[in-house]
Amino acid sequence: MENERLNNYYKELPPNFREDFSIDAKKGSVGVWLNLIALLIAVVIGSAVYLAKYGFRPFNNEDIEPLYAAIAVWVWVLGLCLSLIFTELPHGLC
């Protein structure tokens, strides 16, 4: 199985393609930086969800509590979508 997977890639770029830029994530420092960036994105998403649920509250009414929860869920979903985009974007660029 491993040999099939390894044989199923281009050893050279197809005709009319050229390599503009590449990142070697196997280098220690590059991998550490990529993980730190991922951690930063996770902290930003978590902070946004926390602030949406518990932070800014212009109205202290228990009837509006489900609205704050719904906003927090939508902020979380938006954060996941942005995280997915920022995770996959380097694959397309490199």
Neighbour-count burial of 53, counting CB atoms closer than 10 A to its CB (0-12 exposed, 13-18 middle, 19+ buried): middle
% of the chain residues with pLDDT over 70: 83
% of the chain residues with pLDDT over 90: 0
Integer CA distances (angstroms), 75 to 25, 44, 50, in order: 30, 11, 10
- Please name which of 75, 71, 73, 43 lies closest in space to residue 57, comparing C-alpha atoms: 71
Q: What is the pLDDT of residue 91?
A: 66
Q: What is the pLDDT of residues 38-52, one digit of tens each?
A: 888 888 888 888 887
